[in-house]
Chain A
Amino acid sequence: MISRRQLLQLGGLTALGAGWPGGALRALAQSPAQVRRLILISHCHGWPYATWKMRPEGVSESEPWSVDLEQLPETAFSRPLAPLYEHRRRILALDGLSLATAELDGGGNRHDRGWVHAWTGNNADFAGRDTRSTSASLDQLVAAHVARADRLPSLEVSVDAALEAGRPISYNSGGVRLPAENTPLRAWNRVFGPASSGDTVGAYRRSTLDFAYQEYRAVAARFDANDRARLESHFGLVDRLGHRLEGLATLSCEAPPRPAASFDRYDLQFDAFADIIAAAFSCDITRVVSFSLGEMPTAEFGADHISDKVHKGIAHYIHEDVRKHDAMTQYAAYHGQQVARLVSTLESIPDAGGGSLMDNTLIVWGSELGDGWHGYRNYCPVLIGGSWAFDTGRYLHWPHETPAEMRVPAQVAPGGVTRFAGVPHQHLLVSIARAMGLDVNHIGLHHAYGQRGDLISLVGPLAGLRA
């Protein structure tokens, strides 16, 4: 991990006081111009819902409810959520959502459908050589809104373990998946390389942009005002792209140490990525990150006695093998520990605009599926941060009332199908987008039809996130 001292040096920022007043998080004053940041984290194989969920005494399965996590002891937290106990004031654990539209979409493998729907809210496109989306992913929509013109609009990273790589969760507006940097060294090079190496490539690219812009300037006078404005809208962006390349090459903050070329443990790789993300935020090199978590080696979370493959050795069998269900619980908990460390890192670094980086960051921890059985029914995302937009520190529950039939194992529901689904996750995507400043009413699909023909509206935010 980068030491706190190193990170403080990066941006020349003032250190925070040693202790944080317990209730200060929600009270932090936010300037209107405060920089907001977003991290999307997506892990493989969903959650084992039975051990993920929390059921404080007296709650109902058929009613919506929420509980204040600060009032619960650590022992009341479920195993996958327990690692986040120390950050409980920042979190919103969402119980009752589903990837209903992924179930309704007709094509592809359920993994592919799941990750496209989870992060774009839209149908997948399987008619080419690679799985594509039919609209941009949430991170790209947000990046287009919050990015600095002279910095990276977004950073895509992936912990690619030996077994299965991180899923492609970031899609551009053309539906093409964006490549993710899959080693910390590559991510470091992308973020800090231009400023550290003199960036010959950036200079090359800049020269061609300058030529194009100068050609525009040379002919601009020939056009009337309307047409000049039309050209200006294009070449103004060309000029801005040049400034971005220059901006990245002339960063004033120091780069953190270059990470190792390889790591022998998934955990260490995660932490190295987390450090780079934190440093990139501290230097304001980017404001949006998608962080895709590939499959963890079973030895790392203590399940190698069951199988050496999470996907086909464990995850598929969570509903028929108690040991494997337990292993996936440990899998989710292990990711929970990693996410908690990322939060701690961001908390330890002061933000130029006040508070810590974490105070101005929203982390969305989701997945490609509801569970390892390939189910979409119980989708269990956790929001961490975003207290400027959400009333955090709660566990929320909604009953399943959406008229979409969801596939489940026969031991869960007779016939292998439930009559209703949870709240479509698109509403959460809208809430996140709005928290990041986008004025939108839907993300991806606008509506869908259940198998019985019922109209399912996907418009509007998720109710109850702001008390």
Chain B
Amino acid sequence: MPYAMKLDLRMVLALLCAAGLAPLVAGASEEPGAAGEAAPLALTPTEYNNTVADLLGFPRNGERWPKRPSVADRISPRRTASKGVFSPPPPPDPWPWPFPAEPGADGFEGIAQGQSPSSYQVEELHLAGMHFGAFALLSPTFFDCPGWSDLPSAEREACAATSILRFGERAYRRPLRDGERGRIKAFWQAQLAAEPIDEAVALTVAGILQAPAFHFKLEPDPTEFDAWQLATRLSYFLWDSMPDEELFRAAGSGELASTEGIERQARRMLDDPKARPAVVHFHHQWLGTDQVLLIAPARRAFGPRFGVPRVLRNTRDDDTKWPAILGPIRHSMRLETELFVEEAIFDRAGTFTELMTGNHGYMSRGTAPIYGATTTEDEGRAAVTRQIEYVSVSVGRKRPLTLDPVVLDPTQRAGVLTLPSVLAIGAYAVQPGPIPRGVRILERVACMEMGDPIEGVESALPPDALGVESTNRERTAAATKPSECNSCHRRINPAGFAFEHYDAMGAWRAEDNGQPVDASGSLRLPGAEELTFADGVEFAHKLAASRRVRDCYALHWTRYALGSHLERNAPGLEPIQKRFRENDSVKELMVSIATSDLFRARSAGVGSEGGP
């Protein structure tokens, strides 16, 4: 019997209670072999951290969390770094926990095929569980009763017990089953018998945070979700976090059984501020723009643009100036990307066209030399200031970074693909990289599998040097001319050459090595679409209107929502793509996915790859 069918009145009542403060009164029976749970997707590092913040009622900002409680050190002391090298290391924030990144699949975390546990990751999850378990004692939402620590002993125990069970329900994102309830109670009692009550609470919460029902998004097999698991999928899709009380209520009331109910919740959730960072997070992964924090443009090429000589003036100069300049630039590029995406999708037209062609930028003092004089300030939008951290001269710095809104020259910039972040990650230290730029367009924007490059192909690439005798395009074309290269590079090169107007830091240039830049080209996409363009701006506009590109974007989102490597021709995908091709709206695309049959079924990923 599908688990969904077990949703009885007791459970509905229980969930309604859960929306308030009372614990659930009962749970579903736990029958071995009943409606098998399957496709266990683990919480990603982002999801884990967001979830514990929401579970414990703390903001998603470690600086606003209370200090790590002493109980945490009693049950799991954190090894502290030694006193530092040139200055004491900064104390770690209470939140987020610095998990290792997931290997990922399709460029995204949270995809089943990209999740494989390691002993290191498991130990970090364990330590994180112990750490956050102690924070339950300070949580504004954990205890059912006010003034818990001042209560008489018996009342403290009783309150702790009910609070733990309520926490368990929220952590497992569904009503507890009878067996689970009993095991949690037994675990709590065992801790209480052995340890002081505050440690017992922390340890019990730590155990729950390591249990499979918390760490894995368990899904039923084979056909439909129950309402709880659908709520879980919905919240991690739209918020990168657990459901809120309203979504729990909707799951418990049966509202999610209907398409209209799901749609109502999805629209509500997209209007919630929690959707914004989640949508931005998707786009960082789509284009790899998180990597902009690691760009290393060469001082010998770009130093003078920022007032730093190409070469060191004297031997005592410990080349600290250039790194001190690069730190804020990297952060500025990343933050601009986030602001651009968020504004395009939530505050402007909200369309894919806007995302791909908008010219609303953000510029800091650091990136002003990259944008040059062709930007104009946009007084209609507010400047944004964020705290950033970076290491300069071996010492961690914390500085405010202000980005001013600007209108970018529409003849030079069009959309996310011409942001300096995207361009700089597609570059070498000196020269722009038409090959990595082209591969990114084909694989991430047009969903074309390019495969691995030929072994040792690096040696064939043109030198990444100043003072060369031809243009970057000419050198790249010559290096990739051999027939064994051409089968891929006939597509890669035009897609990359389209951005030759942008140097390795993303600044627009009219000339390369004294020659006018030639960014023109023609790219044939699968499906007989031929995109002919004069430069990157026109290319971006044509990509925005391309059927292949829109279908690809919808495919990425659908895979991301399902946590599975869905094939391009999977049944159920076409209606989502068709609607997106027609209405162009990113938020509507997300609603379409949330209300689709694919989203409401466990099994996905059928279909087969065909063609490039």
Contacts and interface: CB of A to CB of B under 8 A. Distances in A.
Given A128-B389, A130-B391, A144 B116 contact: no
B203 interface: yes
Contact of B122 (A130, A221, A241): A241
B198 interface: no
A454 B463 contact: yes
A426 interface: no
Contacts of A168: 81, 85
A interface residue count range (under 10 / 10 to 19 / 20 to 34 / 35 or more): 35 or more
B213 A201 contact: no
Interface string A223-259: 1100100110111011011000000000000000000
Contact of A179 (B42, B74, B81, B123): B81
A125 interface: yes
Contacts of A20: none
B221 to A, nearest CB: 7
B315 A409 contact: yes
B interface residue count range (under 10 / 10 to 19 / 20 to 34 / 35 or more): 35 or more
Interface string B3-36: 0000000000000000000000000001011101
A215 B213 contact: yes
A201 B37 CA distance: 34
B90 interface: yes
Given A160-B83, A221-B32, A127 B318 contact: no
Contact of B120 (A128, A144, A231): A144
A241 B39 CA distance: 24
B297 interface: yes
Contacts of A457: 458-459
B493 to A, nearest CB: 19
A346 B195 CA distance: 42
B533 interface: no
A109 B394 contact: yes
A227 B85 CA distance: 46
A218 interface: yes
Interface string B59-81: 00000000000000011110111
Contact of A207 (B119, B207, B300): B207
B126 A105 contact: no
B491 interface: no
Nearest to A156: B79
A78 to B, nearest CB: 25
Interface string B158-189: 00000000000000000000011001000100
B210 A211 contact: yes
Contacts of B116: 233
A174 interface: yes
Contact of A224 (B82, B98, B221): B221
A209 B315 CA distance: 55
Contacts of A125: 293-294
Given A106-B326, A144-B119, A224 B389 contact: no
Interface string A301-326: 00000000000000010000000000
Contacts of B207: 207-208, 211-212
A222 B33 contact: yes
A232 to B, nearest CB: 10
B99 interface: yes
A130 B89 CA distance: 7
Nearest to B122: A237
Contacts of B83: 160, 165, 182
Contact of B458 (A107, A223, A240, A455): A455
B329 to A, nearest CB: 10
Give the residue among B85, B100, B133, B326 with the most A Cβ atoms within 10 A.
B85
Interface stretch (A58-66, A83-91, A381-389, A444-452): A444-452
Given A106-B326, A160-B83, A201-B77, A218 B90 contact: no
A204 B117 contact: no
Contacts of B129: 208
Contacts of B74: 201
Contacts of B203: 204, 207-208
A129 B389 contact: yes
Given A165-B85, A237-B119, A449-B429, A172 B100 contact: yes
A241 B119 contact: yes
B346 interface: no
A179 B82 contact: yes
Interface in B298-317: 298-300, 311-312, 315-316
Nearest to A111: B394
Contacts of A417: 311
Contact of A238 (B32, B122, B391): B122
A131 interface: yes
A452 B37 contact: no
B331 interface: yes
A227 B39 contact: yes
Interface string B211-236: 11101101001000000000000000
Given A129-B391, A144-B119, A238 B126 contact: yes
Nearest to A242: B126
B465 A407 contact: no
A109 B320 contact: yes
B327 interface: yes
B606 interface: no
B396 interface: yes
B148 interface: no
Contacts of A149: 119
B118 interface: yes
Given A127-B293, A165-B83, A204-B199, A209 B126 contact: yes
A127 B323 contact: no
A123 B296 contact: yes
Nearest to A124: B391
A212 B320 contact: no
Nearest to B199: A204
Nearest to A234: B117
Contacts of A373: 315
A39 to B, nearest CB: 18
Contacts of A128: 293, 389-391, 396
Contact of B130 (A104, A208, A222, A446): A208
A134 B296 CA distance: 13
Contact of B391 (A112, A223, A227): A112
A171 to B, nearest CB: 11
Nearest to A149: B119
Nearest to A212: B210
B272 to A, nearest CB: 28
Nearest to B210: A212
Interface in B83-132: 83-86, 89-90, 98-101, 112, 116-120, 122-123, 126, 129-130
Given A131-B391, A453-B463, A212 B212 contact: yes
B190 interface: yes
A109 B318 contact: yes
B393 interface: yes
A231 B294 CA distance: 34
Contacts of A179: 79-82
Contacts of A129: 90, 389-391, 396, 398
B414 to A, nearest CB: 27
A216 interface: yes
A168 B83 CA distance: 11
Interface string A145-182: 00001000100001010001111100011101111111
A105 B299 CA distance: 10
A219 interface: yes
A170 to B, nearest CB: 11
B37 A174 contact: no
Given A105-B296, A224-B38, 20 more contacts: A107-B327, A109-B320, A112-B394, A165-B82, A174-B100, A174-B101, A176-B98, A201-B77, A204-B195, A205-B126, A208-B133, A208-B206, A218-B179, A221-B33, A223-B38, A227-B39, A235-B212, A237-B119, A241-B122, A453-B463
The 5 A-B pairs with the shortest beta carbon distances in the complex, nearest first, are A453-B463, A453-B465, A106-B296, A174-B100, A127-B293
5 contacts: A105-B296, A107-B391, A149-B119, A207-B190, A241-B119
